[in-house]
Amino acid sequence: MERPLKIEVLINSPGPHDQVRVRDPFLALISMGVDCRIHERPFRFNSCVRPHSLVIWQRPLPISWQRQIEHLQWLRERGCLLLTEWDDHPSIFPAKIQEKLVQQSMAPLVACHAIHSSSATLAKILSHYNPVVLVLENTTASVPSLNLLKHERKKLRIFLGNQNRTAEYMSISNQLVEWLESDPDIELVLIGDSELNETLEGQTVEHHPLLPYFDYRKILSSCQMALLPLNYGKANRCKTVIKWVEAAAESVAVVAGPELYKNVEMGHKASKTCSIAKNLKDTIPLARKLRLDLAKRKAMVSNSHDWVQKQWQLSQQLPQRLDLYQKIWKRRSILDKKLIQNLGAKAPILLQAPFCI
């Protein structure tokens, strides 16, 4: 039976991290006239999920395998398709959550019709849990005008703002201290990471707590350089380059590496868009060189901003996103049959009532 596409987005973990992944894309679809609603935890299925809707559940963490199956069956009986939005390698999570996921047989990833993710590398990992993984890369809803004038200032503001990067930051902390002590015109702008802030006590550091997304972007835009020292590892390889995208959009030069950002080192015209360190200890020396080479820095900022403007804006991705949801919705009966084939023996409750067409 033909049914129009209706989307229900369930935000299980509200916070600044959901702005790019969930809020901006679906708010944009709503502005296009798509029948889409966004719900924040706590929510009750029977009050927020309409029958015959595409349900996109951001990072669900059920109390048990059985509870996830009950949620899934409730949705199936009402003709809903369940997509689990998942944006990180499971090993990134705190130990207690990892243990819970293992005890539940990875229920959020297994007991759904498909996984909704933003990285092709991560999708390969997640496909071990669910054969259907949708990939839509993270983009930015806002690309302000190119601002090279701020790079003419004598004072250089350096941004450090990634969450859960204490190990990487601490590994370069001594070099940071040395740089700050040797150059009075350097100001470090740090968001979160109280441990690094304590280590840098006495230095010129502007420290902020974790900020709402738009405040974070405002602080980022006030800087000329951002450090993204992501270390080697499978979990880091599964991340997205959104932090580079945001920096480029705000006319901020990026020094990154060694993991992940090699994918965006050269732009759409083979132009340099960021500096990549071969290892973490080379991050600060590379940044110090870029600090002194104004022409190179401005060219890099211009190249990266141009590429993001042409390829990484949310508005450019929306037609593809909507088309993907429409195709998935039309194939909902096929997806449900695949789900039953994969899960029927592990979840007999799913066989008690059919998918409501």
pLDDT for res 213: 93
pLDDT for res 135: 96
What mean pLDDT comes out for the span 210-228? 95
What mean pLDDT comes out for the span 179-207? 89
**7-141+314-351, superfamily in CATH?**
Glycogen Phosphorylase B; (3.40.50.2000)
pLDDT-based confidence at 200, cuts 50/70/90? confident
Which CATH architecture best describes the domain 149-311?
3-Layer(aba) Sandwich (3.40)
Among the listed ranges 109-118, 134-143, 188-197, which one has the minimum average pLDDT value?
188-197
Listed in order, the ranges of the chain carrying CATH 3.40.50.2000 are: 7-141+314-351, 149-311
Res 269 pLDDT > 80: no
What mean pLDDT comes out for the span 128-137? 95
Percentage, residues of the chain above pLDDT 70? 100
pLDDT-based confidence at 205, cuts 50/70/90? confident
pLDDT one-digit tens code per residue, 46-61: 889 999 999 999 999 8
**Distance of alpha carbon 187 from alpha carbon 165, whole angstroms:** 20
Please give the model's pTM, rounded to 2 decimal places. Answer: 0.94
pLDDT for res 91: 84
Q: How close are the terminal C-alpha atoms of the chain, in Å?
A: 6
What mean pLDDT comes out for the span 111-118? 96
What mean pLDDT comes out for the span 173-184? 92
Return contacts of 318-325, CB within 8 angstroms, 24+ apart: 318/25, 318/28, 318/29, 318/32, 320/136, 321/25, 321/29, 321/136, 322/29, 322/32, 322/34, 324/134, 324/136, 325/5, 325/7, 325/54
Among the listed ranges 41-45, 50-54, 127-131, 288-292, which one has the minimum average pLDDT value?
41-45
Res 21 pLDDT > 80: yes
pLDDT for res 145: 97
pLDDT-based confidence at 271, cuts 50/70/90? confident
pLDDT for res 184: 92
**Distance of alpha carbon 276 from alpha carbon 285, whole angstroms:** 11
pLDDT one-digit tens code per residue, 324-357: 999 999 999 999 999 999 898 888 888 888 888 8
Question: Which stretch of DSSP H or E encloses residue 300?
Answer: helix 294-311
Q: Which residues of 282-305 are buried (b: 16+ CB within 10 A; e: fewer)?
A: bbbebbbebbeeeeebbbbbbbbb
Average of per-residue pLDDT values in the chain: 92
Percentage, residues of the chain above pLDDT 90? 72
pLDDT for res 270: 72
